[in-house]
Structure 1
C-alpha cells in the first residue's frame, strides 16, 4: 500500500495543477517528470506521503490514538525530513512549531481541503471497520475539523479497508462507502479536481471503479488535471490492495522512486509492518 501510495504521489507531483497541454504530452505512466514550476525533483514524494508515513508509523508502533500523539508524529515527520508540497501556511507552521503541543496550540483546523484525506489510507489496514472510522475521524479533526474534511478522511481510509479486508467486489465499493459516508460515490468524476478533500476522494473512487490495471489507474488520475497527486495517492493506495486490479506499474516507477533514509526501502519495510495489522 505505502509503496504504491508514494509512487502515485511522486508521479502526480510532476503534474499538480500543470497546464492541460503538459498533462496530455507527458502523462505516459512510465517516467517521473519535473513540474514546470515546482522545485521537487522527479521521483520525490510530497506531503501526501510524508503525512501518511506519520500515520503508518503511529499505527505500527501502537501509539495512543490521541490528538497529542498524532500531532507529535506530524511535526516529527516534517522536522526530520523537511520537504516541499505542503500548503504554504501549513508548511510555515510546521517550520515554526517546536513540537506537537505547539502545533495544536497554534493551528486553526477549519479546512475542508484534502490534507486529512491524503494521509488516511494506512488506517484502512486495521481489521475493525468502526475503529477505522474512529481513527480516521480523530486524526482529521487535528487539521481539518469540518464536516467535509472529516468525511473525506473517513472515505479515503475505508477505500483501502474495503480491499485489504475483502469486504466485497470492486464494483461494490461505492455502495460500501455510501453506507458509512454520504457522498457522490456512485457518480463518475468529470473535470478538473480542486483542492477540496471530498472532490479528491470522489475522483479517486471513480478512477478505481473504472480501471482494472494500476498503470491505467495512475494515468487516469493524472488525466483529470488539477490536484492530481492527491487523487493518485488515494487511488493507488486502494488499488494496490485490490485483487481485481492488475499490479502492473512499470519497474521504472519503482526504481525511480527516491530511496534516501525515508524512501523506497523504508516504505517497503514499514508497509510490511502496517499490513501485519490486518491479521490482528
Structure 2
C-alpha cells in the first residue's frame, strides 16, 4: 500500500499544478518527471508519503493515540529525512519544532487542505470502525482541525477499509462512506483537482470506485491536473486493496523509485509489518 502510494506520489509530483498541455503530452507512464518547483523531487516521494509513513509507524507502535503522540511522530519523521513538498505552513512548523508539543503550539491548525487526508490511508487497516474514525480525527486535528479536514481523512481511511475487508458484496463504496459518516455526498470530479480536502477526496473516491486497473487509474488521476501527487498517491494506496483490479504498474516506476535509507526497501518492510499486524 505505502509502496504503491509512494510511486503515485513520486510520479504525480512531476505533474503537480503543471499546465494541461504539459500533462497531456507527458503523462504516458514511461518515465518520471521533475517537479516544476523543487527539482530535488525527482523519482522521490514527497510530504504525502512521508506523513503517511509517520501514521503507519504510529499504528505499529501505539494502541492508544492522542494529539501529542501523533505530532511527536510527525516531527521525528520529518527531522530524520527532511524533504520538500510540504506547504510552507507545515514545513516551517515542523522545521521549528523539537517535539510534538512545539509543533502543536506553532502550527495554525485551521486548514481545510487535503493534508489530513493524504496521510490517513493506513488507518484503514483498523477493523474496528469506531477506532478508525477516532484515529482519523486525532491525527487530523494536529494540523487540520476543521470539519473538512477531519471528515476527508475519514473518507480516505474508510475507502481502504472497504476494499481491504471485502465489503463490496454488501454495499458500494460511496454508500458505505455516506452511511458511516451520515453524509449524502454525490462524488464527482472537478478538474483541475483542488488541494482542499473536499475536492480531493471527491475525486479520489470517484476514481477508485470506477477503476479496474492500477496503471489506468494512475494515468487518469494525473490527467485531471491540479494536485496530482496527492490524488495519485491516494488512488494507488486505496486501489492496492481493491480485489479483482489489475495491480500491475510499469516496471520503471518500481525500479527507478528512490531506494536510500527511507526509500523503496524501507517502504516494502513497512507494508509487510502493517499487513502482518492487521491480517484480514
TM, length-normalised to structure 2: 0.95
Evaluate the alpha carbon distance shift between residue 267 and residue 185 of structure 1 in structure 2; reply closer, same or farther with a 3 A threshold: farther
CA distance in 2, matches of 1:260, 1:61: 23
Superposed CA deviations along residues 36-69 of structure 1, whole A, max 9, x for unmatched, are: 3322332100000000000000011235311111
Report the Cα offset of residue 276 of structure 1.
2.1
Report the Cα offset of residue 182 of structure 1.
5.2
CA distance in 1, matches of 2:176, 2:30: 32
User: Which position in structure 2 is the counterpart of 1:101?
Assistant: 101
CA distance in 1, matches of 2:184, 2:217: 19
- Match of 1:279, SS? coil
Give the aligned CA root-mean-square deviation in angstroms.
Answer: 1.6
TM, length-normalised to structure 1: 0.95
User: Which position in structure 2 is the counterpart of 1:85?
Assistant: 85
Superposed CA deviations along residues 195-239 of structure 1, whole A, max 9, x for unmatched, are: 111211111111112221000000011011001111111111010
- Match of 2:142, SS? helix
* Structure 2 unaligned spans of 5+: none
Number of equivalences: 280
Superposed CA deviations along residues 47-105 of structure 1, whole A, max 9, x for unmatched, are: 00000000000011235311111100000010000000000121111111111111112
Evaluate the alpha carbon distance shift between residue 203 and residue 172 of structure 1 in structure 2; reply closer, same or farther with a 3 A threshold: same
CA distance in 2, matches of 1:169, 1:97: 46
Evaluate the alpha carbon distance shift between residue 202 and residue 182 of structure 1 in structure 2; reply closer, same or farther with a 3 A threshold: farther
User: Which position in structure 2 is the counterpart of 1:18?
Assistant: 18
Q: Conserved in 1, the CA contact under 8 Å of 2:189 and 2:202?
A: yes
Report the Cα offset of residue 140 of structure 1.
0.4
CA distance in 1, matches of 2:261, 2:132: 29
Structure 2 matches for 1:212-251, cutoff 5 A? 212-251=212-251
Report the Cα offset of residue 125 of structure 1.
0.7
Q: Conserved in 2, the CA contact under 8 Å of 1:118 and 1:153?
A: yes
Superposed CA deviations along residues 251-277 of structure 1, whole A, max 9, x for unmatched, are: 110111111111100000010111223
- Match of 1:83, SS? coil
Is 1:127 the equivalent of 2:127? yes
User: Which contiguous aligned blocks of 4+ residues in structure 1 show a shift greater than 6 angstroms?
Assistant: none
Q: Conserved in 2, the CA contact under 8 Å of 1:164 and 1:278?
A: no
User: Which position in structure 2 is the counterpart of 1:210?
Assistant: 210
